[in-house]
Amino acid sequence: MTARSGLSTLIARWRDMVADTGTVGFTDDEAQTILDSYRVDLYRHEMGAVAVNIGGTTNYLTHIVGYGDLETVASGTSFFQVWDVNGGTIGTADYTADYQRGILTFTANQAGSARYLDGRSFDLYGAAAHGWREWAGAKASLYRFSADGASYDRQQWWEHCMAMAAHYDTLATTGASTLSVGMMYRGDVNVLNTSWFGWSDNAFT
């Protein structure tokens, strides 16, 4: 099976992160399988419009997805599709996409109307940690030995793989190790009683 076309850039970046360039150890299909294990699927995800005053007129050209490292429309509209507020599709001729940063720039003012996205975002760091563990598994049989007065430490490669996996784990945005809990509140309304949350009134100042 051939990897989806819209993943080509992400697969190339992932290969750099796991030192899988030149004579590669992972096929594109294997790389895609790993990446798909670290993806977030977006369905009718509302993008954030950025209001910019141009010549006295408020323009809404830039829209922020809120997720980066997106699979491109090269995989097909089943994997990347922009919608208007009425459920109509918006074609690629009407915008340019920065898939890595998750920013869409429309060619015409969207006049503040909501714009939605179906897409897929990938956690490259989590996938890189997975890739290094795959390398480690392939090297699990390596061992230290000495012969003819010389010392050979083939296990060092395995240890390096595990160290790299641990490094990328700290950067990953998916998985149990990245779980965090926070409190969000609206800035356009008054907080009536912050003691409900066990906090004092000045906790929000």
Residue 187, in any domain of the structure: no
Q: What CA–CA distance (Å, rounded) separates 12 from 35? A: 12
Return the HEC string of 39-92: EEEEEEEECEEEEEEECCEEEEEEEECCCCCECCHHHCCCCCEEECCCCCEECH
**Residue 31 and residue 13 share a domain:** yes
Same domain, 128 and 117: no
Q: Is residue 68 one of the residues assigned to a domain?
A: yes
Residue 142 within a domain: yes
| pLDDT (0 to 100) of residue 50 | 94
14 and 89, same domain (yes or no) = no
Task: Taking residues 140-167, report their average pLDDT.
Answer: 72
Residue 64 lies in a domain: yes
For the chain, the domain total comes to: 2
Q: Are residues 102 and 30 in the same domain?
A: no
Note the pLDDT of residue 163: 93
Which residue do the tokens 């141009």 mark? Answer: 54
Strand partners, 64: 48, 103
**Do 98 and 112 fall into the same domain?**
yes
- Residue of 47, 7, 45, 54 whose CA lies nearest to 26: 7
Same domain flag for 63 and 107: yes
Same domain for 89 and 53, yes or no, is yes
Q: Is residue 62 part of a domain?
A: yes
Give me the mean pLDDT over the 165-176 stretch.
Answer: 83
Residue 192 inside a domain? The answer is: no
Mean pLDDT (the chain) is: 83
CA 134, CA 11: separation in Å to the nearest integer?
A: 16
- Residue 151's pLDDT is 56
Q: Is residue 130 assigned to a domain? A: yes
pLDDT digits (tens, 9 = 90+) for 171-198: 998 653 444 334 444 455 444 444 433 4
Q: How much is the average pLDDT of 18-32?
A: 91
Q: Same domain for 95 and 128? A: no
Q: Which residues, in sequence order, are CB contacts of 171 under 8 Å at separation 6+?
A: 125
pLDDT of 203 > 60? The answer is no
Q: Which one of 122, 151, 169 terminates a domain? A: 122
Whether residues 53 and 108 share a domain: the answer is yes
The per-residue pLDDT for range 87-146, each reduced to its tens digit, is 999 999 999 999 999 999 999 999 989 999 999 999 999 999 999 999 887 755 555 555
Largest pairwise CA distance in the chain: 82
Q: Is residue 186 part of a domain?
A: no
Give the range of the structural domain holding residue 87, as residue numbers without chain letter: 39-122
Please tell me whether residues 134 and 150 are part of one structural domain: yes
Model confidence at 14: pLDDT above 80:
yes
Once rounded to an integer, what is the mean pLDDT over residues 5-32?
A: 93
Q: What is the pLDDT of residue 137?
A: 79
Domain shared by 56 and 103, yes or no: yes
**In a shared domain, residues 54 and 98:** yes
Q: Which of 122, 148, 164 is the last residue of a domain?
A: 122
202 — pLDDT class (breaks 50, 70, 90): very low
Q: What is the pLDDT of residues 33-92, one digit of tens each?
A: 999 999 999 999 999 999 999 888 899 999 999 999 999 999 999 999 999 999 999 999
